[in-house]
């Protein structure tokens, strides 16, 4: 065996080791959390209100759902329309080109801003300056800014993947630009847009730092836009931080992992359909 084979074998082992470590971390985290959490999950846990350190997590599940619905109904239209502008309406005019560059840079920057900064900003702007106080609305507005880049980027990719023959055919038949976008391009881009929306759901579900300073951490069910309440992740953080009840923390973590798993499964299925369609 010469030097080269030895070197190659060592590198190959390191590559396998890296892949193994990555998978190992995943299996370890999931296995550890789920085996301890699953036995505490039952209908009562999911559908009753908390009583002190015990009881269910029903309000937190509902709060998370409200947060998802509200933030995405703000971010999705804006993000999709923004992407349509970036892909369909831009031309090589220098002013337009400059605007597009600025928008691209802003979107990338927005994607890179850490969630704690969003939390700070949301607290300052929505909670204090606009006087919305710690509430569902403040939280959802903050989160909608946070997920905007995800929606813009995935929609852009989806629009770019629509063959240009669709556009040409529609315009050639005399349809207006708007009609072309609405009738010919958007329908073929729907699975891609949906992927972006589902990815955003994942971010909203997993977010803690931005939510805790804008929606607060009150132990109640959000009844309207201006009530404060904690989401599942915030609840999870408080359980872990205060060390109140590890059983409940394992169970909540398991619920979160199940949600993440379902989200990943559905994006993968959508991606598969998308690949088949093209």
Partner 1 sequence: MSYQNHVIKDVIKFENSESDTSMEGKEAIVKIAKLDKPNKRRELTEKIIEAIFMLCALTAVICVATITIFIFWEGGPAIFEIGLSNFIMGTEWEPLADIFGILPMILGSLYATALAIAFGVPIGILGAVFLAEIAPVWLQRIVRPAVELLAGIPSVIYGFFGLIIIVPMLSDQFGGAGNSLLAASIIPTVISISETSIRAVPKEYKEGSLAMGASHIQTIFKVIIPSAKSGILAAVILGIGRAIGETMAVILVAGNSPLIPESLTDKVRTLTGNIALEMGYAYGLHQEALFATGVILFVFIMGLNLTLNLVTHKAGE
Residues 9-48 within binding reach of partner 1 (CB under 8 A) = 11-12, 14-19, 21-23, 25-26, 28-29, 32-33
Please state the closest distance from residue 148 (CB atom) to partner 1, in A.
6
Can you tell me which of 110, 171, 175, 258 binds partner 1, judged by CB under 8 A? 110
Q: Of 55-63, 122-130, 158-166, 183-191, which part binds partner 1 (CB under 8 A)?
A: 122-130
Q: 239 to 278, contacts with partner 1 by CB under 8 A?
A: 240-241, 246, 249, 253, 256-257, 260-261, 263-264, 267-268
Q: 66 to 105, contacts with partner 1 by CB under 8 A?
A: 77-79, 81-86, 89, 99, 102-103, 105
Residue 108 makes contact with partner 1 by CB under 8 A: yes
Rounded Cα distance, 191 and 269, in Å: 10
Can you tell me which of 114, 163, 172, 187 binds partner 1, judged by CB under 8 A? 114
What single string gives the DSSP state of each residue in the chain? --HHHHHHHHHHHHHHHHHHHHHHHHHHHHHHHHHHHGGG--HHHHHS-EETTEE--HHHHHHHHHHHHHHHHHHHHHHHHHHHHHHHS--S-HHHHHHHHHHHHHHHHHHHS-HHHHHHHHIIIIIIIS---SSHHHHHHHHHHHHHHHHHHHHHHHHHHS-HHHHHHHHHTT--HHHIIIIIIHHHHHHHHHHHHHHHHHHHHH--HHHHTTT---SS---STT-----HHHHHHHHHHHT--HHHHHHHHHHHHHHHHHHHHHHHHHHHHHHHH-
Q: Which is nearer to partner 1, 43 or 243 (CB)?
A: 243
CB 136 within 8 A of CB 225: yes
Rounded Cα distance, 68 and 62, in Å: 10
Please state the closest distance from residue 196 (CB atom) to partner 1, in A.
14
* Total chain residues near partner 1 (CB under 8 A): 85
Rounded Cα distance, 233 and 244, in Å: 15
Cα–Cα nearest to 236, from 220, 258, 219, 252: 252
Q: Which is nearer to partner 1, 11 or 223 (CB)?
A: 11
Q: 126 to 145, contacts with partner 1 by CB under 8 A?
A: 129, 145
Please state the closest distance from residue 127 (CB atom) to partner 1, in A.
11
Rounded Cα distance, 7 and 65, in Å: 53
Can you tell me which of 45, 118, 228, 251 binds partner 1, judged by CB under 8 A? 118
Can you tell me which of 70, 140, 148, 193 binds partner 1, judged by CB under 8 A? 148
Q: 188 to 227, contacts with partner 1 by CB under 8 A?
A: 202, 205-209, 212-213
Q: Which is nearer to partner 1, 56 or 119 (CB)?
A: 119
Can you tell me which of 178, 190, 244, 269 binds partner 1, judged by CB under 8 A? 178
Q: Which is nearer to partner 1, 223 or 273 (CB)?
A: 273
Q: Which is nearer to partner 1, 82 or 137 (CB)?
A: 82
Residue 150 makes contact with partner 1 by CB under 8 A: no
């Amino acid at each position: 065996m010469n030097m080269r084979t030895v070197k190659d074998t060592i590198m190959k082992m390191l590559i396998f080791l890296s892949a193994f470590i990555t998978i190992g971390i995943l299996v370890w985290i999931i296995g550890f959390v789920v085996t301890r959490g699953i036995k505490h999950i039952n209908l009562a846990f999911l559908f009753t209100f908390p009583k002190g350190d015990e009881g269910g997590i029903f309000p937190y599940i509902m709060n998370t759902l409200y947060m998802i619905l509200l933030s995405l109904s703000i971010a999705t239209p804006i993000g999709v329309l923004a992407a349509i502008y970036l892909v369909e309406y831009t031309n090589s005019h220098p002013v337009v080109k400059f605007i597009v560059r600025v928008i691209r840079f802003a979107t990338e920057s927005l994607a890179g801003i850490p969630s704690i900064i969003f939390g700070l900003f949301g607290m300052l702007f929505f909670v204090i300056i606009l006087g919305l106080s710690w509430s569902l609305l403040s939280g959802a507005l903050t989160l909608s800014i946070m997920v905007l880049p995800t929606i813009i980027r995935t929609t852009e990719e989806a629009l770019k993947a629509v063959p240009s023959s669709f556009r040409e055919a529609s315009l050639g038949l005399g349809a207006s630009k708007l009609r072309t976008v609405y009738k010919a391009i958007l329908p073929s881009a729907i699975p891609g847009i949906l992927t972006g929306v589902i990815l955003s759901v994942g971010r909203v579900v997993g977010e803690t730092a931005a939510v805790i300073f804008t929606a607060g951490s009150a132990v109640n069910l959000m009844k309207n836009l201006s009530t404060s309440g904690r989401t599942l992740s915030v609840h999870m953080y408080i359980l872990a931080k205060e060390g109140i009840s590890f059983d409940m923390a394992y169970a909540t973590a398991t619920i979160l992992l199940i949600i993440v798993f379902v989200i990943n499964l559905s994006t993968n299925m959508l991606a598969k359909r998308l690949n088949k369609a093209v």
